[in-house]
Protein backbone atom coordinates (compact mmCIF):
# COMPACT_ATOMS: atom_id res chain seq x y z
CA UNK A 1 0.00 0.00 0.00
CA UNK A 2 1.55 3.28 -1.08
CA UNK A 3 -1.39 5.51 -0.27
CA UNK A 4 -3.46 6.58 2.71
CA UNK A 5 -6.91 7.55 1.46
CA UNK A 6 -9.28 6.08 4.03
CA UNK A 7 -9.11 4.55 7.50
CA UNK A 8 -11.57 1.95 6.18
CA UNK A 9 -8.55 0.52 4.29
CA UNK A 10 -6.43 0.19 7.44
CA UNK A 11 -6.33 -3.15 9.18
CA UNK A 12 -5.64 -3.39 12.89
CA UNK A 13 -1.95 -4.27 12.40
CA UNK A 14 -1.36 -1.38 9.99
CA UNK A 15 -3.11 1.06 12.33
CA UNK A 16 -1.09 -0.12 15.32
CA UNK A 17 2.13 0.05 13.28
CA UNK A 18 1.44 3.72 12.46
CA UNK A 19 0.56 4.52 16.08
CA UNK A 20 3.60 2.70 17.49
CA UNK A 21 5.89 4.33 14.91
CA UNK A 22 4.40 7.73 15.83
CA UNK A 23 5.15 6.97 19.47
CA UNK A 24 8.81 6.29 18.57
CA UNK A 25 8.99 9.38 16.38
CA UNK A 26 7.40 11.63 19.00
CA UNK A 27 10.82 12.05 20.58
CA UNK A 28 11.83 13.80 17.35
CA UNK A 29 8.76 16.05 17.39
CA UNK A 30 10.14 18.13 20.22
CA UNK A 31 13.01 20.52 20.21
CA UNK A 32 15.81 18.26 21.39
CA UNK A 33 16.38 16.45 18.07
CA UNK A 34 15.20 18.57 15.20
CA UNK A 35 15.63 16.42 12.08
CA UNK A 36 15.86 12.86 10.79
CA UNK A 37 17.41 12.18 7.35
CA UNK A 38 14.70 9.67 6.29
CA UNK A 39 13.21 11.69 3.39
CA UNK A 40 16.37 13.49 2.27
CA UNK A 41 16.21 13.95 -1.52
CA UNK A 42 12.44 13.22 -1.61
CA UNK A 43 9.92 15.86 -2.67
CA UNK A 44 6.56 16.11 -0.91
CA UNK A 45 3.86 18.41 -2.28
CA UNK A 46 1.13 19.77 -0.02
CA UNK A 47 -1.77 20.29 -2.43
CA UNK A 48 -4.49 22.23 -0.63
CA UNK A 49 -7.72 23.12 -2.44
CA UNK A 50 -9.45 23.97 0.87
CA UNK A 51 -8.38 26.12 3.80
CA UNK A 52 -6.48 24.57 6.69
CA UNK A 53 -4.56 25.76 9.72
CA UNK A 54 -3.60 22.58 11.62
CA UNK A 55 -3.33 19.89 8.94
CA UNK A 56 -1.32 21.90 6.44
CA UNK A 57 1.08 23.28 9.02
CA UNK A 58 1.63 19.98 10.78
CA UNK A 59 2.26 18.07 7.54
CA UNK A 60 4.83 20.72 6.62
CA UNK A 61 6.52 20.45 10.03
CA UNK A 62 6.50 16.62 9.79
CA UNK A 63 7.97 16.67 6.27
CA UNK A 64 10.72 19.08 7.30
CA UNK A 65 11.56 17.03 10.42
CA UNK A 66 12.10 14.09 8.05
CA UNK A 67 14.32 16.30 5.80
CA UNK A 68 12.01 16.21 2.74
CA UNK A 69 11.99 18.95 0.12
CA UNK A 70 8.57 20.56 0.63
CA UNK A 71 6.42 22.32 -1.96
CA UNK A 72 3.30 24.08 -0.72
CA UNK A 73 0.57 24.48 -3.32
CA UNK A 74 -2.69 26.32 -2.61
CA UNK A 75 -5.50 26.40 -5.13
CA UNK A 76 -5.89 30.09 -4.31
CA UNK A 77 -3.25 31.90 -6.33
CA UNK A 78 -2.62 28.92 -8.65
CA UNK A 79 -3.80 28.17 -12.19
CA UNK A 80 -6.73 26.20 -10.69
CA UNK A 81 -8.50 29.58 -10.57
CA UNK A 82 -8.09 29.72 -14.39
CA UNK A 83 -9.91 26.41 -14.77
CA UNK A 84 -7.02 23.92 -14.65
CA UNK A 85 -8.22 20.41 -13.79
CA UNK A 86 -7.08 18.08 -11.00
CA UNK A 87 -5.52 15.83 -13.68
CA UNK A 88 -3.47 18.61 -15.25
CA UNK A 89 -2.43 19.90 -11.83
CA UNK A 90 -1.29 16.37 -10.89
CA UNK A 91 0.59 15.88 -14.18
CA UNK A 92 2.38 19.18 -13.57
CA UNK A 93 3.42 18.09 -10.07
CA UNK A 94 4.57 14.72 -11.42
CA UNK A 95 6.70 16.50 -14.02
CA UNK A 96 8.38 18.33 -11.15
CA UNK A 97 9.25 15.01 -9.50
CA UNK A 98 6.78 14.73 -6.61
CA UNK A 99 7.46 11.61 -4.51
CA UNK A 100 4.29 12.15 -2.47
CA UNK A 101 1.25 14.40 -2.59
CA UNK A 102 -0.69 15.38 0.49
CA UNK A 103 -4.08 16.50 -0.78
CA UNK A 104 -7.01 18.34 0.78
CA UNK A 105 -9.95 18.82 -1.56
CA UNK A 106 -13.55 19.99 -1.26
CA UNK A 107 -14.72 17.05 -3.40
CA UNK A 108 -15.18 13.70 -1.64
CA UNK A 109 -13.19 11.13 -3.60
CA UNK A 110 -10.52 13.44 -5.05
CA UNK A 111 -7.62 11.66 -3.23
CA UNK A 112 -8.95 8.24 -4.32
CA UNK A 113 -9.11 9.53 -7.90
CA UNK A 114 -5.45 10.60 -7.70
CA UNK A 115 -4.37 7.37 -6.01
CA UNK A 116 -6.11 5.26 -8.66
CA UNK A 117 -4.72 7.24 -11.58
CA UNK A 118 -1.41 7.07 -13.43
CA UNK A 119 -1.11 10.87 -13.24
CA UNK A 120 1.15 10.57 -10.21
CA UNK A 121 3.72 7.89 -9.43
CA UNK A 122 4.22 8.71 -5.76
CA UNK A 123 2.14 8.22 -2.64
CA UNK A 124 -1.15 10.02 -2.13
CA UNK A 125 -2.09 11.00 1.41
CA UNK A 126 -5.59 12.27 2.10
CA UNK A 127 -5.57 15.43 4.23
CA UNK A 128 -9.38 15.70 4.16
CA UNK A 129 -11.76 15.28 1.21
CA UNK A 130 -15.20 16.89 1.32
CA UNK A 131 -17.42 15.07 3.78
CA UNK A 132 -15.68 11.74 3.14
CA UNK A 133 -12.54 11.16 5.26
CA UNK A 134 -9.66 12.72 7.16
CA UNK A 135 -7.52 9.68 8.03
CA UNK A 136 -4.54 11.41 9.66
CA UNK A 137 -6.93 13.29 11.97
CA UNK A 138 -8.42 9.98 13.11
CA UNK A 139 -4.92 8.55 13.61
CA UNK A 140 -3.84 11.49 15.77
CA UNK A 141 -7.10 11.17 17.70
CA UNK A 142 -6.42 7.46 18.31
CA UNK A 143 -2.83 8.32 19.31
CA UNK A 144 -4.16 10.86 21.84
CA UNK A 145 -6.72 8.36 23.18
CA UNK A 146 -4.04 5.69 23.61
CA UNK A 147 -1.82 8.09 25.53
CA UNK A 148 -4.61 9.08 27.93
CA UNK A 149 -6.31 5.71 28.30
CA UNK A 150 -2.93 4.08 28.58
CA UNK A 151 -3.13 0.81 26.65
CA UNK A 152 0.58 0.99 25.66
CA UNK A 153 2.51 0.16 22.49
CA UNK A 154 1.10 -2.60 20.31
CA UNK A 155 -2.24 -2.45 22.11
CA UNK A 156 -5.57 -1.29 20.86
CA UNK A 157 -8.51 0.59 22.40
CA UNK A 158 -10.65 -2.47 23.15
CA UNK A 159 -13.77 -1.65 25.14
CA UNK A 160 -13.12 2.10 25.36
CA UNK A 161 -16.19 4.25 24.83
CA UNK A 162 -15.94 7.33 22.62
CA UNK A 163 -18.84 9.73 22.10
CA UNK A 164 -18.62 11.85 18.93
CA UNK A 165 -20.98 14.81 19.18
CA UNK A 166 -22.30 17.32 16.67
CA UNK A 167 -22.47 17.68 12.92
CA UNK A 168 -21.88 14.04 11.92
CA UNK A 169 -23.60 14.63 8.56
CA UNK A 170 -20.80 16.83 7.18
CA UNK A 171 -17.91 15.41 9.22
CA UNK A 172 -15.04 13.59 7.53
CA UNK A 173 -13.47 13.40 10.99
CA UNK A 174 -16.45 11.37 12.28
CA UNK A 175 -16.28 8.99 9.30
CA UNK A 176 -12.54 8.37 9.62
CA UNK A 177 -12.85 7.97 13.39
CA UNK A 178 -15.71 5.48 13.32
CA UNK A 179 -13.73 3.20 11.00
CA UNK A 180 -10.43 3.49 12.86
CA UNK A 181 -11.77 3.41 16.42
CA UNK A 182 -13.90 0.35 15.77
CA UNK A 183 -10.93 -1.36 14.06
CA UNK A 184 -9.02 -0.67 17.28
CA UNK A 185 -11.82 -2.17 19.38
CA UNK A 186 -13.41 1.00 20.75
CA UNK A 187 -17.18 1.52 20.96
CA UNK A 188 -18.39 4.68 19.23
CA UNK A 189 -21.62 6.55 19.94
CA UNK A 190 -22.66 9.40 17.66
CA UNK A 191 -24.71 12.09 19.40
CA UNK A 192 -26.47 14.61 17.17
CA UNK A 193 -29.82 16.09 16.24
CA UNK A 194 -31.56 13.92 13.61
CA UNK A 195 -31.00 16.65 10.98
CA UNK A 196 -27.22 16.36 11.38
CA UNK A 197 -27.02 12.58 10.96
CA UNK A 198 -26.48 10.97 7.53
CA UNK A 199 -29.08 8.75 5.89
CA UNK A 200 -28.12 5.10 6.45
CA UNK A 201 -26.47 5.75 9.82
CA UNK A 202 -28.13 2.54 11.10
CA UNK A 203 -25.70 0.54 8.94
CA UNK A 204 -22.59 2.21 10.48
CA UNK A 205 -20.65 0.41 13.22
CA UNK A 206 -21.81 2.74 16.00
CA UNK A 207 -24.62 3.53 18.41
CA UNK A 208 -26.70 6.67 17.86
CA UNK A 209 -28.19 8.91 20.53
CA UNK A 210 -30.02 12.23 20.56
CA UNK A 211 -29.43 12.70 24.28
CA UNK A 212 -25.95 13.96 25.21
CA UNK A 213 -26.61 14.01 28.96
CA UNK A 214 -27.33 10.26 29.06
CA UNK A 215 -24.18 9.37 27.05
CA UNK A 216 -21.61 11.43 28.98
CA UNK A 217 -21.46 9.42 32.25
CA UNK A 218 -20.36 6.27 30.36
CA UNK A 219 -17.79 7.89 28.03
CA UNK A 220 -14.01 7.54 28.25
CA UNK A 221 -13.71 10.42 25.79
CA UNK A 222 -16.05 12.90 24.19
CA UNK A 223 -15.13 14.37 20.81
CA UNK A 224 -16.94 17.61 20.00
CA UNK A 225 -17.45 18.58 16.34
CA UNK A 226 -18.03 21.98 14.77
CA UNK A 227 -21.29 22.63 12.92
CA UNK A 228 -20.02 23.08 9.35
CA UNK A 229 -22.11 26.00 8.17
CA UNK A 230 -20.03 26.33 5.00
CA UNK A 231 -21.39 22.95 3.81
CA UNK A 232 -25.04 23.75 4.67
CA UNK A 233 -27.89 25.58 3.08
CA UNK A 234 -28.50 28.66 5.28
CA UNK A 235 -32.13 27.55 5.80
CA UNK A 236 -30.85 24.55 7.82
CA UNK A 237 -28.52 26.38 10.21
CA UNK A 238 -29.41 25.45 13.76
CA UNK A 239 -29.67 28.50 16.03
CA UNK A 240 -26.65 28.86 18.28
CA UNK A 241 -28.66 29.07 21.49
CA UNK A 242 -30.85 26.03 20.75
CA UNK A 243 -27.91 23.95 19.49
CA UNK A 244 -25.60 24.72 22.41
CA UNK A 245 -28.43 24.10 24.92
CA UNK A 246 -28.96 20.55 23.65
CA UNK A 247 -25.60 19.54 22.15
CA UNK A 248 -22.97 21.98 23.48
CA UNK A 249 -20.42 20.95 26.10
CA UNK A 250 -20.40 23.35 29.06
CA UNK A 251 -19.08 23.13 32.62
CA UNK A 252 -22.21 21.37 33.93
CA UNK A 253 -21.98 18.67 31.27
CA UNK A 254 -18.22 18.32 31.79
CA UNK A 255 -19.01 17.39 35.40
CA UNK A 256 -21.16 14.47 34.15
CA UNK A 257 -18.12 12.78 32.53
CA UNK A 258 -16.14 10.18 34.51
CA UNK A 259 -13.06 11.71 36.14
CA UNK A 260 -10.61 10.02 33.77
CA UNK A 261 -12.48 11.03 30.59
CA UNK A 262 -10.99 13.56 28.18
CA UNK A 263 -12.57 16.19 25.94
CA UNK A 264 -11.33 16.19 22.34
CA UNK A 265 -11.92 18.50 19.38
CA UNK A 266 -10.28 18.32 15.93
CA UNK A 267 -10.44 22.11 15.57
CA UNK A 268 -11.31 24.68 14.50
CA UNK A 269 -13.55 25.24 17.56
CA UNK A 270 -16.45 27.66 17.65
CA UNK A 271 -16.45 28.70 21.29
CA UNK A 272 -19.97 29.27 22.58
CA UNK A 273 -21.53 26.91 20.01
CA UNK A 274 -20.38 23.27 20.46
CA UNK A 275 -18.03 24.00 23.38
CA UNK A 276 -17.83 26.77 25.96
CA UNK A 277 -14.60 28.68 26.57
CA UNK A 278 -14.55 27.23 30.09
CA UNK A 279 -14.39 23.66 28.72
CA UNK A 280 -12.07 24.51 25.81
CA UNK A 281 -9.57 26.00 28.26
CA UNK A 282 -9.92 23.29 30.90
CA UNK A 283 -7.01 20.88 31.55
CA UNK A 284 -9.24 18.00 30.42
CA UNK A 285 -9.48 19.39 26.89
CA UNK A 286 -6.79 17.88 24.62
CA UNK A 287 -7.25 20.11 21.57
CA UNK A 288 -3.73 21.57 21.66
CA UNK A 289 -2.16 18.22 22.53
CA UNK A 290 -3.97 16.70 19.53
CA UNK A 291 -2.25 19.25 17.29
CA UNK A 292 1.17 18.34 18.70
CA UNK A 293 0.41 14.62 18.31
CA UNK A 294 -0.55 15.31 14.70
CA UNK A 295 3.08 16.05 13.86
CA UNK A 296 4.26 12.66 15.22
CA UNK A 297 1.45 10.78 13.45
CA UNK A 298 2.09 12.51 10.13
CA UNK A 299 5.82 11.85 10.46
CA UNK A 300 4.96 8.16 10.97
CA UNK A 301 2.70 8.04 7.90
CA UNK A 302 5.34 9.73 5.73
CA UNK A 303 8.11 7.56 7.20
CA UNK A 304 6.20 4.37 6.42
CA UNK A 305 4.74 5.33 3.03
CA UNK A 306 7.42 7.51 1.47
CA UNK A 307 10.50 6.46 3.43
CA UNK A 308 10.76 3.15 1.59
CA UNK A 309 8.81 0.69 3.75
CA UNK A 310 5.19 -0.24 3.09
CA UNK A 311 2.72 -0.44 5.94
CA UNK A 312 2.41 -4.19 5.63
CA UNK A 313 6.11 -5.09 5.58
CA UNK A 314 7.77 -2.31 7.57
CA UNK A 315 9.81 -3.70 10.43
CA UNK A 316 8.58 -2.87 13.92
CA UNK A 317 11.61 -0.84 14.77
CA UNK A 318 12.70 -0.04 18.26
CA UNK A 319 15.54 2.07 16.90
CA UNK A 320 15.27 4.61 14.16
CA UNK A 321 17.92 5.01 11.44
| Chain contacts with ligand CP (rule: CB under 6 A) | 52-55, 128, 134, 137, 266-268
For residue 63, the surrounding DSSP H or E stretch is: helix 54-65
Would you say 54 is a known binding-site residue? Answer: yes
- Work out how close the CB of 57 gets to ligand CP at its nearest, in angstroms, rounded to a whole number: 8
Would you say 172 is a known binding-site residue? Answer: yes
Contact 310, 13 (CB under 8 A): no
DSSP code, position 162:
E
Would you say 55 is a known binding-site residue? Answer: yes
- Work out how close the CB of 58 gets to ligand CP at its nearest, in angstroms, rounded to a whole number: 8
Would you say 228 is a known binding-site residue? Answer: no
CA proximity to 139, closest of 261, 317, 249, 304: 304
Where are the extended beta strands (E) located within 184-296? 187-191, 207-209, 221-224, 262-264
- Closest to ligand CP by CB, 258 vs 268, is 268
- Closest to ligand CP by CB, 5 vs 314, is 5
Sign of CA dihedral 164, 112, 85, 103: positive
- Closest to ligand CP by CB, 58 vs 183, is 58
Helix axes 172-183, 12-25, angle to 10 degrees: 100
DSSP code, position 122:
S
- Work out how close the CB of 265 gets to ligand CP at its nearest, in angstroms, rounded to a whole number: 9
Where are the extended beta strands (E) located within 75-160? 100-105, 123-129
Would you say 317 is a known binding-site residue? Answer: no
- Closest to ligand CP by CB, 123 vs 137, is 137
- Work out how close the CB of 255 gets to ligand CP at its nearest, in angstroms, rounded to a whole number: 27
- Residues at the annotated binding site for carbamoyl phosphate? 54-55, 104, 134, 137, 267-268
- Residues at the annotated binding site for L-aspartate? 82, 172, 226
- Residues at the annotated binding site? 54-55, 82, 104, 134, 137, 172, 226, 267-268
Amino acid sequence: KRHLVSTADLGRDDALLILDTAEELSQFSGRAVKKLPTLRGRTVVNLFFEDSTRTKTSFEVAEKRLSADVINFSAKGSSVSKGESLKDTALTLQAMGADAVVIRHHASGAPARLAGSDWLHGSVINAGDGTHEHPTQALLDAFTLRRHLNPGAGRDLAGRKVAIVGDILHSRVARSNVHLLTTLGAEVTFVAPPTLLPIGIDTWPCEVSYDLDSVLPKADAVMMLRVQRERMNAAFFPTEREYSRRYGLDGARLARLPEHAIVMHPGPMVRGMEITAEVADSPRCTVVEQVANGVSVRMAVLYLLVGGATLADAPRTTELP
